[in-house]
Amino acid sequence: MTYSDDLLSPGYEAADEVRWVSEPAKRSGRTAFARDRARILHSSALRRLAAKTQIHTAGQSDFPRTRLTHTLEVSQIGRELGATLGADPDLVEVGCLAHDLGHPPFGHNGEMALNELAENFGGFEGNAQTLRVLTRLEAKSFTEDGRSIGLNLTRASLDAAIKYPWGRETNQNKFGFYADDEDIFNWARIGGIENRKSFEAQIMDWADDVAYSVHDVEDAIVANHLDLNFLKSKTDRTVIFELARLQYVDASDGEIDAAIERLLALPYWQLNFDQSHTSLARLKNLTSQLIGRFCSAAESATRKQFGDGLLTRYSAELIIPRENVIEVAVLKTLANLFVMQREGASEMQSSQRELLTSLGAVLLERDGLDLEPWLAPSWQAASSDAMKVRVVVDQIASLTDTSAVTWHKSLTHNRS
């Protein structure tokens, strides 16, 4: 392990820019974090997100976000918010670009299927898989003994991508690394604070919440799944209270109701959408204004507590006003209620989970013969059922929605 020859970013230390495997000096003029950003932009894992589900199944229509377009929007939001707070914008963008690299086909629905497949062997979690992609699965750098080290990002960049800085033993549902990746996780967390995300990761997390809450609602409206007039009914709001509290925020009915009233009172809030060019423009203005509202609030609250200057790594925490947290939760709830729980969605999601479960069973049954060549060495080195399941999970998680369906059709047809 050596320190970087790149330009040192203001507000950061040399230890933040160290890489697991030393690299020869390259052309000057870039920071280590700018180099890391470029590595993710050029990665195959990022490209695959173009055909992975965000909230609507990828490829079904042209307007809704894919996992890639969502990631790019998160990156733009996070980069600008980070820059206003004095964090290195390239470093924040690294965390944002990386945050969904570990997500499997069919979004969170696919996560459920892979978690069941690996339940007895360490489970599956999209954020833990992201660390695995960055440090093991993406092809770029290797140790002297031939072990893949993934993109060989700097310590601070890996830490910026760690949304849950703890293992499965702490939280079965949300965790940041698998047992066999604990060494690189611990290395990335040197200088950190136990169970606390770095400042850059906190910005990434809020940018993610803002992007998908606002944009998933926009997609739902354009797809005619959601009519915002629903919010005007006091009676209908009870279902929002219950789902928001169950899934997204610990808040009273009164707090959630007040958040809805604040949203309805915004001068740019659009209740009627008719697919016209004008209404599309108004809807776009709504999304832009909401993003500005949520980011400006976090910037102001954070500056108020931590003052001016460069805020980096563990020198500050992102402060998000509770009112805005609840407003974002309301938007998430609307997308959940009208898209993820729309008529026919449950049957489709069940079918997708069954497909991934079946695909995993076939790959294991055929003793890894159908794995892509880049995973063959990992399969050959697997000396236990747990290791074999992990290789199969790595394979399935890397697939797009389309390739998962195609693989399953081909393998099950050959099987019959």
Instruction: Go through the domains of the chain in sequence order and give each one's CATH number.
Output: 14-188 (1.10.3210.10), 199-345 (no CATH), 352-415 (no CATH)
Question: 333: which 2 tokens?
Answer: 């709830």
> Among candidates 49, 39, 201, 54, which has minimal Cα distance to 135?
39
pLDDT of residue 61: 53
> Does the pLDDT at position 2 exceed 80?
no
pLDDT of residue 289: 96
Q: Is 23 exposed, middle or buried (0-12, 13-18, 19+ CB in 10 A)?
A: middle
Q: 57: which DSSP letter?
A: P
Q: What percent of the chain clears pLDDT 70, i.e. is strictly above it?
A: 93
pLDDT of residue 196: 97
Number of residues written out for the chain: 416
SS3 state of residue 19: strand
- Cα–Cα dist 136/188, whole Å: 14
Q: State the Cα torsion 354-357-358-361 to the nearest 10°.
A: -160
pLDDT of residue 66: 85
- Cα–Cα dist 331/324, whole Å: 11
pLDDT band at 58 (very low <50, low <70, confident <90, very high): very low
- Cα–Cα dist 60/57, whole Å: 6
- Over residues 69-101, the pLDDT tens digits come to 999 999 999 999 999 999 999 999 999 999 999
For residue 226, give Cα distances in angstroms to 90, 149, 283, 335. 36, 44, 13, 8
Start-end of H helices in 366-384: 376-381
